[in-house]
């Protein structure tokens, strides 16, 4: 446990990736299988290309097999669904991720629905959302999973803590709230229609911001000593006219009040791909009946 107020997600993610690499090596030796992650990119979106490149690189770095499928922007839905069906059946592929957004001729929900829930390492399939909501063993979306690891690294037992999650998206806010509830927190989900958002936030022992509005959460919204997790990634223009990344929390103000806080960049962001690899390892173990090392 660190004494610093700043939660170093980059360092935490590095440690997690090292641990995953050790487990991959042990699996290869004991079971002769290497986990495989298939990443599908349709089109030429430049941010998506960067994400897919980083995912493939980190997959290989932990010793897993990376299967990259780069399809043209003109790819039809039937063709993409046929690829997913092949990946669902391929025993070398333990995890499948389709990079979003997809070109407009493809319905993203139809694509997510087509992925085998046991290979759905993004945790977006409705079966995995249902498993999370009902306490079953599913695959949890990577960003909330990583945020939860950071929270527990500071607080340990969360039972009885008051948690406020600002944002109710299916990929961050709602799964985050489910994870906190499963740890016996008293959870409030706030959103754009919430009355007195500063007052709601000020009651939180754990405050998670997943809004997409630069520096919206101010220092005087933060309860003294609270753990603040800033999921937001927003590009704004700095005083020098250059672009820089900021979170949904006003970092300098919140740092003065919080017991611990994630910076942006270097907080939640690096945990997301590390948790994708964790999910691929978890999926592989379940598919092959291998017990995960603690
Ligand atoms: N670190 C990572 O790896 C990672 C991963 C995913 C996302 N992100 C970042 O996290 C942020 C949220 O992402 P998302 O996909 O969850 O966004 P999203 O789908 O746009 O959802 C945003 C949520 O914020 C709520 N909201 C908007 N304005 C608000 C306001 N003024 N007051 C209170 N609530 C407000 C919305 O409420 P309504 O539902 O009422 O509209 C919605 O529930 C973004 O900055 C995104 O870039 C980071």
Whether 99 is catalytic is yes
Q: Among the options 8, 116, 118, 122, which is catalytic?
A: 122
What pLDDT, on the 0 to 100 scale, is given for residue 2?
62
With a 6 Å cutoff on the Cβ, whether 268 touches ligand 1 is: yes
Whether 29 is catalytic is no
Residues 110-139, mean pLDDT to the nearest whole number: 97
Report the nearest-CA residue for atom 29 of ligand 1: 192
**Contacts with 65 (C-beta within 8 Å, 6 or more apart), sequence order:** 34, 35, 36, 37, 59, 92
With a 6 Å cutoff on the Cβ, whether 234 touches ligand 1 is: yes
Cα(282) to centroid(ligand 1), Å: 27
pLDDT at 168 over 90: yes
What pLDDT, on the 0 to 100 scale, is given for residue 292?
73
User: Average model confidence (pLDDT) for the chain?
Assistant: 97
Whether 287 is catalytic is no
Q: Among the options 8, 23, 55, 161, which is catalytic?
A: 55
Q: For residue range 55-86, list pLDDT tens digits in order.
A: 999 999 999 999 999 999 999 999 999 999 99
What pLDDT, on the 0 to 100 scale, is given for residue 294?
59
Residues 18-28, mean pLDDT to the nearest whole number: 97
- Out of 169, 200, 214, 277, give the residue to mutate to test ligand 1, the one with the largest number of ligand atoms within 8 Å of its CB: 169
With a 6 Å cutoff on the Cβ, whether 278 touches ligand 1 is: no
- Note the pTM of the prediction, 2 decimals: 0.97
Retrieve residue 207's tokens.
């405050």
What pLDDT, on the 0 to 100 scale, is given for residue 283?
98
Q: For residue range 264-294, list pLDDT tens digits in order.
A: 999 999 999 999 999 999 999 999 999 876 5
With a 6 Å cutoff on the Cβ, whether 169 touches ligand 1 is: yes
CB 228, CB 261: distance < 8 Å: yes
pLDDT at 124 over 90: yes
Q: What is the 3-state secondary structure (H, E, C) of the chain?
A: CCCCCECCHHHHHHHHHHHHHHHHHHHHHHHCCCCEEEEEEECCCHHHHHHHHHHHHHHHHCCCEEEEEEECCCCCHHHHHHHHHHHHHCCCCCEEEECCCCCCCCCHHHHHHHCCHHHECCCCCHHHHHHHHHCCCCCCCHHHHHHHHHHHHHHCCCCCCEEEEECCCCCCHHHHHHHHHHCCCEEEEECCCCCCHHHHHCCCCEEEECCCCCCCECHHHCCCCCEEEECCCEEEECCCCCEEEECCECHHHHHHHCCEECCCCCCCHHHHHHHHHHHHHHHHHHHHCCCCCC
pLDDT at 190 over 80: yes
What pLDDT, on the 0 to 100 scale, is given for residue 222?
98
With a 6 Å cutoff on the Cβ, whether 212 touches ligand 1 is: yes
Q: For the chain, what percent of residues have pLDDT higher than 90?
A: 97
Q: Among the options 99, 174, 248, 257, which is catalytic?
A: 99
With a 6 Å cutoff on the Cβ, whether 269 touches ligand 1 is: yes
Q: For residue range 236-255, list pLDDT tens digits in order.
A: 998 899 999 999 999 999 99
């Amino acid at each position: 446990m660190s004494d610093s107020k700043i939660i170093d997600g980059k360092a935490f993610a590095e440690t997690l990736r090292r641990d995953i690499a050790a487990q991959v090596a042990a699996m290869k030796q004991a079971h002769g299988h290497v986990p495989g992650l298939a990443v599908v990119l349709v089109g030429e979106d430049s941010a998506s290309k960067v994400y897919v490149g980083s995912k493939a690189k980190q997959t290989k770095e932990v010793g897993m097999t990376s299967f990259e499928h780069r399809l043209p922007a003109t790819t039809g839905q039937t063709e993409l669904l046929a690829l997913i069906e092949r990946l669902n059946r391929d025993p070398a592929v333990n995890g499948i991720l389709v990079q979003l957004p997809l070109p407009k001729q493809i319905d993203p929900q139809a694509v997510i629905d087509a992925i085998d829930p046991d290979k759905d390492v993004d945790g977006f399939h409705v079966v995995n959302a249902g498993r999370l909501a009902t306490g079953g063993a599913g695959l949890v979306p990577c960003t909330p999973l990583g945020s939860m690891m950071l929270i527990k690294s500071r607080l340990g037992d969360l039972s009885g803590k008051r948690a406020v999650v600002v944002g109710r998206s299916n990929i961050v806010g709602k799964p985050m709230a489910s994870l906190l509830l499963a740890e016996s927190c008293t959870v409030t989900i706030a959103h754009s229609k919430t009355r007195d958002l500063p007052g709601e936030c000020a009651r939180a022992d754990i405050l998670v911001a997943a809004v997409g509005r630069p520096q919206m959460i101010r220092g005087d919204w933060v309860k003294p000593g609270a753990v603040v997790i800033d999921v937001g990634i927003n590009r704004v223009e700095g005083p020098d006219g250059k672009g820089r990344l900021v979170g949904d929390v006003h970092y300098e103000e919140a740092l003065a009040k919080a017991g611990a806080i994630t910076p942006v960049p270097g907080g939640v962001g690096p945990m997301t791909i590390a948790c994708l690899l964790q999910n691929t390892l978890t999926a592989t173990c379940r598919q092959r009946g291998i017990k995960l090392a603690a």
